[in-house]
Amino acid sequence: MTRWRWGGTHVLVTGGSEGIGAAVAAAVRERGARVTILARRPGPLGTVAAQIDALAVPADVTDAGALRAAVATAIDVNGPIDVLVHCAGTALPGRFLDVTEQEFADQMRLNHLGTVNALRAVLPGMVERGVGRVVVTSSTAAVLPVPGYAAYGAAKAAVAMLAAVIGTEVEPRGVRIGVLYPPDTKTPGFDAENLRKPPETAAISAGIAPQSPERVAAVVLRGVERGLRSITADFLTRALLVMPGVLIPVMRPVLARIARRAIARA
């Protein structure tokens, strides 16, 4: 497979107003790509766009019609989309019996169906041209059963399977799809998560230092360049993807012990 080159390409980044999305947008802009960033909030989006000289197109990925219109605007200004890096998403941690039905639905709608909407808006053009790269964002929580992430982990696992299935359909037509599995990453979204994590979730997170958005962005770019189907930024997630049948049975009782101790101390 020929190594991907960024110069002169058009890269669309959703969730581009902060965190991993903003870091990816800045990194590919530095490598000579034309960049479009998309997010719900026009203010922060415009600030990032001005800092890196990118096109800002406000849209909510859960609104399929608005997203298609935003993608059309991006194409009108910057040309056909060569790379989609889909980072828009959210985590609302909480114990299964405490998380409301609405929050379950909200996380599935944004994390999973938002990914569906983004892919449906961008993939037709890539398939028609016979070339393209896509990265969608799952999570370590999709492969490791961390207490407090029943809703989020399930939605992100759905993203991973979605990409795997679609990959079998579009890779023969020239489009490569990779799945990013970021661990805890120091972003505004991560800070918001920490405000509502149950004690057991917080205790497990406390044992692993969060990655920086720039570090995760670097592995995203490397993953696109190499055409990787699974993109990871830490050893634990990489090992879980390679040996889930071995490691998850070992990890589950460890996680349960940490949870019991955290609950007892709370």
Which residues participate in catalysis according to the annotation? Answer: 138, 152, 156
Q: Which residues pair with 132 in a beta bridge?
A: 175
Burial class (CB in 10 A: 0-12, 13-18, 19+), 8: exposed
Helices 114-129 and 64-78 pack at an angle, to 10 degrees, of 40
d(CA 106, CA 88) in angstroms, rounded, equals: 13
d(CA 20, CA 194) in angstroms, rounded, equals: 17
In one-letter notation, the amino acid at residue 216 is V
H/E stretch holding 37 reads strand 34-38
Burial class (CB in 10 A: 0-12, 13-18, 19+), 102: exposed
Helix, strand and coil content of the chain, in percent to the nearest 5, comes to 60, 15, 30
Pairing of strands 83-86, 132-137: parallel
Place of tokens 């996680």: 255
d(CA 30, CA 43) in angstroms, rounded, equals: 23
Is the CB of residue 16 less than 8 Å from the CB of residue 87?
A: yes
d(CA 154, CA 112) in angstroms, rounded, equals: 9
